[in-house]
Amino acid sequence: MNRMIEQVHSLPELIRESLPEFDERVRNALDHKFCLSLKRLFITGCGDSHHASLTSELAFEALAGVPTEPMTALQYAHYAAGYMPDTGPGTNAVIGISVSGEVTRTLEALNFARQEGAVSIALTATPGSRIAEAGDLQVYTTIRPFPDPPGTFTPGVRTYAATQLALYIIAIRIGEVRGHLSTPEADDLRGQLQELAEAAESTIDSCDKASLELAESLAEAKEFVFAGGGPNFGTALFSAAKVLEASGDPALGQDLEEWAHLQYFTREPATPTFYISTTKRDLPRAVEVVEAAKIIGRQVVAIVPGSDRQAVNKVEFVLPLADGMPEVFAPLVAAIPGELFAAHRADLIGETFFRGFGGGRSVEGGGGASRIRTGQLLPEFPR
């Protein structure tokens, strides 16, 4: 079993272990004054961290009752930070997400947030990092180590799940303190998060072998597309990212509706296209888009709860999700099929994760020539 698949199989236990500890950390970090003052929230990060922000927007708006804008760190730091609504001290907040705590653009975002009078919240796995120090408040997503063998690097699976879990707990905390949720409602939601461990186990059991068989069926494919709506737009972007990192194949994540306006017209008819849906809210449109994809010759894969026969009956391949997950939390589990497919694809074609950082790539400085951690840090918002 490759290391990425091992990480996927560890997710149920990660949820069980981390939820009580993360809940305590969030309660300690976010006091009543902060929660009651908050009027607008921005969530920012790069790569997987940005994808997690997209999957959490619905939770913050539905459970916390706070208007929320997820955006990339570059977008927030260089374009949005200087134009936040002037609603008073402590009423705007920015969550900057970085597992390493050293990503330059996210650090910039938190620095500019503080300069503009917003509360900066560092969501990181690394105490003492630059981003931790840039936060007025800190929520740590540190989890039990799952080290790679020396000289190897595995696409992020556990860190992504930990980030999502922490964001959902933050949303519940804010909603409960503000009275948007009653205490019994908040406790019930925490229980639903705990139940995602069983949902993850069920999904892994259903999808591990199926994703291997799918990878074998699509062995000759040259590119992949993932589409999802609402919070699962983030899942689509993340799933495409895991294919890029694991096997190096061109992969695209797209909004479900936007696929019908754009990818519908691509030249290659048989491009494998994965549709992700965890709710009946977007399922009718997903079914229509699947029908369109099949008519023009796409090889279609559905990542949906196994009971959604309306979608399952229309596709060649299904990677079934556990039934009954609440939509606001489902992206935590909906990422699993894409992770497994990416890992099996890499094995099948004999590719090393991250291309072994060859061809001029380097892990030094968090990305070598791309300067993820060592790029120029602007001292103030570029007006």
Which pLDDT does position 1 carry in this prediction? 65
What domains sit in the chain, N to C, each tagged with a CATH number?
3-181 (3.40.50.10490), 202-351 (3.40.50.10490)
pLDDT at 366: 64
What pLDDT, on the 0 to 100 scale, is given for residue 315? 85
Residues of the chain with pLDDT under 70: 1, 309-312, 364-367
Q: Give residues with Cβ within 8 angstroms of 359, minimum separation 6.
A: none
pLDDT value of position 310? 67
The residues pairing with 203 across neighbouring beta strands, listed in sequence order, are none
Distances (CA, A) of 362 to 145, 156, 229, 246, 356: 23, 17, 34, 16, 9
What is the pLDDT at residue 279? 82
pLDDT at 312: 64
Tell which residue, 236, 256, 221, has the closest CA to residue 344.
221
Please measure the distance between the N-terminal and C-terminal CA atoms of the chain and give it in whole angstroms.
Answer: 51
pLDDT, position 11: 98
pLDDT tens-digit readout, 13-32: 999 999 999 999 999 999 99
Please, is 290 exposed, middle or buried when counting C-beta atoms within 10 Å of its C-beta (0-12, 13-18, 19+)?
Answer: buried
Enter the tokens of residue 272.
Answer: 């494998």
For residue 370, what pLDDT is reported? 87
Q: What is the pTM of this model?
A: 0.97
If we measure between CA atoms, which residue out of 177, 141, 175 comes closest to residue 62?
175
Residue 77 has which token pair? 């730091």
Contact indicator for 74, 253 with CB cutoff of 8 Å: no
Q: What is the pLDDT of residue 343?
A: 98
Please report the pLDDT score of residue 232 as a whole number.
97
Tokens representing 296 are 């023009």
Question: For residue 283, what pLDDT is reported?
Answer: 87
Backbone angles phi, psi at 229, to 5 degrees: -115, 160
Whole-number Å distance between alpha carbons of 213 and 338:
13
For residue 267, what are the CA distances in angstroms to 223, 237, 270, 271? 12, 21, 9, 9
Residue 367: predicted pLDDT = 65
Angle formed at CA 251 by CA 95 and CA 244, multiple of 5 degrees = 70
Tens-digit pLDDT profile for residues 265-276: 999 999 999 999
